[in-house]
Amino acid sequence: MTTPPPLLQVSAVTRRYRLPRQRLLAPAPVLTAVEDVSLSIAPGETLGVVGESGSGKSTLARMVMAFEAPDAGSIRFRGSDPNALPRKALRSLRREFQMVFQDPFGSLDPRRRIGWSVAEPLRAAQATDQTGPRVAEALEQVGLHPRDAERFPHEFSGGQRQRIAIARAIVTRPALLVADEAVSALDVSVQAQILNLLMDLQEELGLGILFISHDLAVVASLCDSLLVMRHGRTVEAGPTDRVLSAPESDYTKTLLKAAGVT
């Protein structure tokens, strides 16, 4: 029996940025934002990436989303490299992996009705044949009403706007969701509602989720396994229970203490 490839396989990726020269003729300094990071996500699995500000989490997310390519290492989505695909094939593959951002107000056009914004990934993937029903379905899946498609972003609370952002991310029926600080801007009680929603969706739709947060308590409540990053490198990775009960690195221990999870 052959095992199917994981949904997402990230192997030893490194990403460097060239920074502006300090002086004329001086060599441009290079910052290594992510170094030698590996992970994999199976369908229906939730992997949490946690680490302090600047540890490379969003850079990793951008590579997984094929917004930028790694300088070394590889990314495989269902066994194929998104960065190696012709543009048209990548556009159609993008239906399969979607992103939820931190600031739904910033990413929802205030002058457009919700339905227009939620349908955006369908237009991007040139899959607009079923737009109306798909948008209605996605709104219902996140606990909103299909009629909300007619309303504008300012008519919703922060938590509802994050639901809208999640509706937009699942409207193409993706296999993988990348959530970068998706609940960080929300009150704790609203955070819990959104985390529950993500767990329900994961179960209902069999979604793989790459969940990024600087908050270990949030990540631990949602995720099957954890990856702890610092200065672009992996300091610890493993099943959530093991990382919480027997952390191997001092940095993880510090995070656990700070988050009050121990």
Residue closer to ligand ATP, measured from CB, 67 or 241: 67
Give all strands (DSSP E) within the chain, no chain letters. Answer: 8-18, 30-41, 46-50, 72-77, 97-100, 176-180, 208-213, 225-230, 233-239
Q: Which of 16, 17, 40, 199 binds ligand ATP (CB under 6 A)?
A: 17
DSSP state, residue 153: G
Radius of gyration for the chain, computed over Cα atoms and rounded to the nearest angstrom: 19
Distance CA 146, CA 136 (A): 4
Site map 41..60 versus Mg ion, x via CB under 5 A: ----------------xx--
239 forms beta bridges with 225
Is residue 131 within 8 Å of 110, Cβ to Cβ?
no
Interaction partner, residue 153 (Mg ion, ligand ATP, none; CB < 5-8 Å by kind): none
Q: Which of 12, 28, 30, 31 binds ligand ATP (CB under 6 A)?
A: 31
Residue closer to ligand ATP, measured from CB, 117 or 234: 234
Site map 197..226 versus ligand ATP, x via CB under 6 A: -----------------x------------
Residue closer to Mg ion, measured from CB, 75 or 182: 182
Distance CA 227, CA 233 (A): 10
Binding site for ligand ATP (CB under 6 A): 17, 31, 33, 51, 53-59, 214
Binding site for Mg ion (CB under 5 A): 57-58
